[in-house]
């Protein structure tokens, strides 16, 4: 069992920290919204009013933050993790950020005496609540082995995919597939409904065939019911499509479906849907077809 400083108790971080506390780890959490502390404390963890207080005795530091500016502030800032955690501590960054930011973080960590893994996750809020996330890990094999005691509590599939940044590259690929799938499911719903077919029944059949996916399993009912409480916000997926676009440019690749999906998600944001779940791509497709006033 480890002493863990856990920074970022949002939609994903809160259930992950609770799982770790319930598994017997000593978890001290810090986040911007203090409402998140009640759950952690009920599950046996403690709260801290600063990064310093959360990490000063930690063997393992976990970050689950929105994007690279927050990660950089929390880890590299003057009041941050590398200023206050004991030397030799292992930082596991579960956030989805740019691969180059993860590489820079690992280099800064090595210079300051810390070990770093990029370990973005997939599985959404449901996967976090159930402790069955998929985790794609970049860094050294030795640090990956150390972190398996954490991964086995919050995840079901965890794979060391390569050196620093490789976890984020795999996560970019994941977000490409997820975004594109949502766009296609949205179009399928609009198509079936326009032709007078019950989309709920239609998607039940799709879920059992070759078109089946975790998205259809977990989200088809809420999509047909037009329930878009996040979950994973369109704003965050917009961030991830930016990471994909940059990565494709760096590699001199043309990824046309990625470009289209990026544009649809940007349209959702422009339509004021940024704080809704990314399954609200359905609303974007409806608007494209003049169906949004129905």
Binding pattern to ligand NAD, positions 228-267, x when CB under 6 A? ---xx---x-------------------------------
**What b-and-e string marks burial along 194-214, b requiring 16 or more CB atoms within 10 Å of the CB?**
eeeeebeebbeebeeeeeebb
| Binding flag, residue 86, ligand NAD (CB under 6 A) | no
- Which span sits near ligand NAD by CB under 6 A: 3-11, 98-106, 215-223, 247-255? 3-11
89 or 178: CB nearest ligand NAD: 178
Cβ neighbours of residue 142 under 8 Å, at least 6 residues apart?
none
CA atoms within 13 A on the CB side of 44: 12
- Which span sits near ligand NAD by CB under 6 A: 5-13, 159-167, 202-210, 215-223? 5-13
Total of chain residues touching ligand NAD, rule CB under 6 A: 27
Q: Is the dihedral of CA 172, 173, 176, 182 positive or negative?
A: negative
Cβ neighbours of residue 182 under 8 Å, at least 6 residues apart?
215, 219, 278, 279, 281
**Minimum distance between the CB of residue 242 and ligand NAD, rounded to whole angstroms?**
11
Is residue 33 packed enough to be buried (19+ CB in 10 Å), middle (13-18) or exposed (0-12)?
exposed
- Which span sits near ligand NAD by CB under 6 A: 120-128, 216-224, 256-264, 286-294? 120-128
| Binding flag, residue 10, ligand NAD (CB under 6 A) | yes
Active site residue 171: yes
Determine which residue in the list 8, 109, 138, 202 makes contact with ligand NAD, applying CB under 6 A. 8
| Binding flag, residue 96, ligand NAD (CB under 6 A) | yes
The residue written with tokens 């497709």 in the block is 285
Determine which residue in the list 5, 21, 25, 31 makes contact with ligand NAD, applying CB under 6 A. 31
What is the signed CA dihedral for 194, 196, 198, 203, rounded to 10 degrees? -50
**Minimum distance between the CB of residue 187 and ligand NAD, rounded to whole angstroms?**
22
| Beta-ladder partners of 116 | 91
49 or 198: CB nearest ligand NAD: 49
| Binding flag, residue 66, ligand NAD (CB under 6 A) | yes
Strand spans (E) along the chain: 3-7, 26-30, 46-47, 60-63, 90-93, 115-118, 121-122, 133-138, 155-162
Secondary structure tally for the chain: helices H, strands E: 14, 9
CA 127 to chain centre: 10
Point out the catalytic residue in the list 35, 171, 221, 283: 171
Determine which residue in the list 18, 101, 125, 146 makes contact with ligand NAD, applying CB under 6 A. 125
Which residues are marked as active site? 171
Residues in contact with ligand NAD by CB under 6 A are 7-13, 30-33, 36, 64-66, 70, 73-74, 95-96, 121-122, 124-125, 231-232, 236
């Amino acid at each position: 069992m480890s002493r863990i400083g856990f920074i970022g108790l949002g939609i994903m971080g809160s259930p992950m920290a609770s799982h770790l506390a319930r598994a017997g780890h000593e978890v001290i959490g810090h986040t911007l919204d203090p409402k998140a502390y009640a759950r952690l404390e009920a599950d046996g963890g403690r709260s801290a009013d600063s990064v310093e207080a959360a990490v000063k005795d930690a063997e393992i530091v976990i970050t689950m933050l929105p994007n690279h500016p927050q990660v950089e502030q929390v880890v590299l800032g003057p009041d941050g993790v590398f200023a206050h955690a004991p030397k030799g501590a292992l930082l596991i960054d579960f956030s989805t950020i740019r691969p180059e930011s993860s590489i820079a973080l690992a280099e800064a960590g090595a210079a300051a005496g810390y070990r770093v893994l990029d370990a973005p996750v997939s599985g959404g809020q449901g996967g976090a609540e159930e402790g069955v996330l998929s985790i794609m890990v970049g860094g050294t094999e030795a640090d990956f082995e150390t972190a398996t005691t954490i991964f086995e509590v919050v995840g079901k599939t965890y794979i060391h995919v390569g050196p620093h940044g490789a976890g984020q590259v795999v996560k970019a690929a994941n977000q490409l597939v997820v975004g594109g799938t949502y766009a296609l499911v949205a179009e399928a719903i609009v198509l079936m409904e326009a032709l007078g077919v019950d989309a709920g029944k239609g998607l039940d059949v799709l879920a059992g065939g070759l078109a089946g996916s975790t998205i259809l399993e977990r989200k088809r009912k809420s999509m047909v019911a037009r329930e878009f409480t996040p979950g994973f916000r369109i704003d965050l997926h917009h961030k991830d499509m930016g990471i994909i676009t940059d990565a494709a440019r760096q590699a001199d690749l043309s990824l046309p479906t990625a470009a289209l999906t990026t544009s649809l998600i940007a349209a959702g944001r422009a339509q004021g849907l940024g704080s809704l779940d990314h399954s609200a791509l359905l609303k974007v497709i409806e608007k494209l077809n003049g169906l949004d006033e129905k």
